[in-house]
Structure 1
Amino acid sequence: MNLSLNEVEVTAKKAARGAGYSWGLAEEAGKATRWLCAQGLDGCGILADLLSATDGQDLSQMSPTALDNEWTAASGQLCPLIAGASLSDHSAQISQSGLNLSSVLSPLFLIPFAARLNGQSIRVEWNGGSAVTDGGNLSLSLNGTPTASAATVHTTDQPVPLSVVHTRAEPSDQDWATLIQLTGRTYAPATEESRLLGAGSGLSDAD
């Protein structure tokens, strides 16, 4: 498949909402997925894996329960969307001492949120990989497929080379089908009245 980033963002947003996230976090998911795809990463696949893991879970149990320099979750695993959306409120802390996160699902999803910490280059590290971003550019090192892992987020002086910006995404058929299936949950069930109106029943005042 070859899709525009606009289509990716809209579908990712609806899929996250269908998986149980609030509309606000779903919007964040759409933007983050788009950013990953623009950097040449498989944002749709990363999101599909995350939503498959969190679907049906109590997301409140996957939220940070402590916002000092060690973030944990009651379930034992942090959701990167929820944790990532909180990073901007703790940029000073990240600059001063860095931030440690307990086991994070799909740690690659932290990177788009780190990229939004304006004026700072941020390094995100997890077991098997690391990334440095200055907001628009990304330097990524991977050793295998990222899985749930402890992660750290901190500022860095490491230079970030210019990245190639991608304008299209190429998700796998399976990952895209997963996202489309989740978007279906955002549509209200049709009532008999709406079905008649939608079908254009052909009735008029003269009938």
Structure 2
Amino acid sequence: MSFSLNEMEATAKRATRGAGYSWGQAEEASKAARWLCAQGMDGAGALARLLTLGLASDLAAHRPRQVDGPWQGDGDLCPLSAGPLLSDCAHLLKTGPVELQAVVSPALLLPFAANAARVLKSCISIEIDGVRAVTDGDHLAAPDILPITARRVTVSQGVAPDVPRNRHTRAQPTLDDWAVLNRFAHRTYAPATEESRLLGAGAGLSDND
């Protein structure tokens, strides 16, 4: 399947909201998914896997309890909570690495690490259970497949990406992942009323024959 990045972003935003996240987090998620897709990564799959976990029902348990020392929550960390915090706390990387423990769908941290790179005007290295990615904010060097979950993610200042990934202008989600996103997105649509059904039917109850 192939969709424009705008279509990917719009669907991701509605899907995240439909999964129970705030509109603000939905905005963050949609931009993150789009950024990954633009880097040729599976942004749709990363987001679809996250939304199916249902973390939005108790987000307080899935955000970092503190930023001094390893970041961890009462449950697995949600990248839509930990990622924006990483971007906001980019200054912490000036004094050393930031470690996050037990992160689900960690690929979604990469766009927020890219934000941190732009803030610091420095390259950022993200190591996900030993698998390394590097971004300068615009470009990304990373393998095609990253761990689905991570026991430990280490974020630090690094060197420029050796071989950046080719940029993409379209998203290429799988049929299953796209269906998941649309299923969640459908929850944001207002249920049809009798009036809207009549308006959508064109002639309504009139008989022009």
> Unaligned stretches of 5+ in structure 2?
none
User: 1:18·1:182 contact (CA, 8 Å) conserved in 2?
Assistant: yes
SS in 2 for 1:116: helix
- 1:199 aligned residue: 201
Cα distance, 1:5–1:135 mapped onto 2, change above 3 Å: same
- 1:102 aligned residue: 101
Counterparts of 1:2 and 1:43, CA distance in 2: 13
Cα distance, 1:191–1:95 mapped onto 2, change above 3 Å: same
- 2:16 aligned residue: 16
Matched, 1:90 2:92: no
Which aligned pairs between 1:158-197 and structure 2 lie closer than 5 A? 158-197=160-199
SS in 1 for 2:34: helix
User: 1:11·1:179 contact (CA, 8 Å) conserved in 2?
Assistant: yes
Which aligned pairs between 1:69-148 and structure 2 lie closer than 5 A? 69-75=69-75, 77-117=76-116, 118=118, 119-141=121-143, 145-148=147-150
SS in 2 for 1:153: strand
Match of 1:154 among 153, 156, 164: 156
Counterparts of 2:178 and 2:144, CA distance in 1: 23
SS in 1 for 2:57: coil
CA shift digits 1:64-84 (9 cap, x unpaired): 111223211122x00011110
In the alignment of these two chains, the number of paired residues is 203
SS in 2 for 1:124: strand
SS in 2 for 1:104: strand
Name the TM-score, length of structure 2 as normaliser: 0.88
User: 1:134·1:160 contact (CA, 8 Å) conserved in 2?
Assistant: no
Deviation at 1:18, TM superposition (A): 0.6
Which aligned pairs between 1:34-45 and structure 2 lie closer than 5 A? 34-45=34-45
User: 2:77·2:102 contact (CA, 8 Å) conserved in 1?
Assistant: yes
Amino acid at match of 2:139: N
Counterparts of 1:157 and 1:128, CA distance in 2: 17
SS in 1 for 2:166: coil
Identity of aligned residues (%): 51
> Unaligned stretches of 5+ in structure 1?
none
Matched, 1:48 2:34: no
Amino acid at match of 2:104: L
Deviation at 1:196, TM superposition (A): 3.1
